Structure formats: structure tokens, C-alpha cells
Structure 1
């Protein structure tokens, strides 16, 4: 039972950890130019699926370095959830892995 929720609103419930779906995220590049007031950083997310069927993994990333950002390179399409959150829905093959890469450009 979930109490104190607003009518017609989305509720997120954590139901546990999926041991057969894993993700390892690492930063692959980082550059700051204070004169131009920009930051460029790149990431790689290794998504692994040990299930017997293909699975879509939603890789939610938070653009936390500033309000002015742009994805300048990506290996998969994404959906902008709000001003600082994006979702990469990536289908990973059964018993396989997929590498998601992206680069974000911040300015201030």
C-alpha cells in the first residue's frame, strides 16, 4: 500500500536490484576552458544483459554541471526528461553487452 500520493501523478517504486542487468559508467574525457567558459566531457556506459531475451535498459543521466548543456555526440538516441535529465533507452541483446557513449558540452 502506498499512502499520501497525488491523484493522477507518477509514482516510482524501487522493487529491488536486477542482478542480470548491469551498467558500468566511466568518464573518458574532460576538458575545461575557463576563458571560453565551457566544459566538454565524455562518458562510456557498458550495459550488460545476462537474461535469455533482449532487454531495453533505460540509462538515465543527469547534466549536473550547469543549466546550459548540449549533447554533441552520442551512440544512441535519448529523450530529454527535464532541464537537467536525459534517458537513453538502449536495447541490449540476450547474453550480450552494448556500449553507450556520449559527449556533453556545458557553457556558462
Structure 2
């Protein structure tokens, strides 16, 4: 019962494929432990995200359906087309106090 080189390679490939397809892969997500990103809207209308002021055309604020607001911020990536990152919590700053959206 001798096996040729080709049949040995085929058998090893089948065993590796079966092992790879049946193994559960555990993915650790660090996003669950982090606080959500926040967009600060100052009383004068200036929008600040991650300590930088954003132009008006790069921010879209929308209702989240739970009585709060979310924002989509345009991200500029070198050598790739720009895209919008959404689900950012909006905080509106009123002189003397800060209002946080309740939809965390």
C-alpha cells in the first residue's frame, strides 16, 4: 500500500482544508470597551472632532431615531477616495452647560 507523492500531497491538502474550515476563530474586539467618538458642536456652530475643527461640508448631522443625534464625518485618506464615518455621538455645547445626546 504505497502512496505516490501526488496522493500524499492531496491527502495533506484535504486534511488541512478540513481543519481550517472546522476551527472556530475567536476575534477580540476592542471597540466594545471604548467610549464612542463624540463630535462637539459649539454654541457658535463650530464643529470639533478629535481636537480638530471640521469644515461645514465635511459633517452631516442626522437624527438617530431615539431622540438623539448622530453625525457622519468625512475622512480623507491618502491614496484612497474619501469616505464618511458615521455613528458618531453629537454633543451640543450651550453657553454654561454641555448637552449630551442620550442615544449612546
Q: Please tell me the TM-score bracket, short chain as reference.
A: under 0.3
More helix by share: 2
TM-score (norm 1): 0.24
TM-score (norm: length of structure 2): 0.25
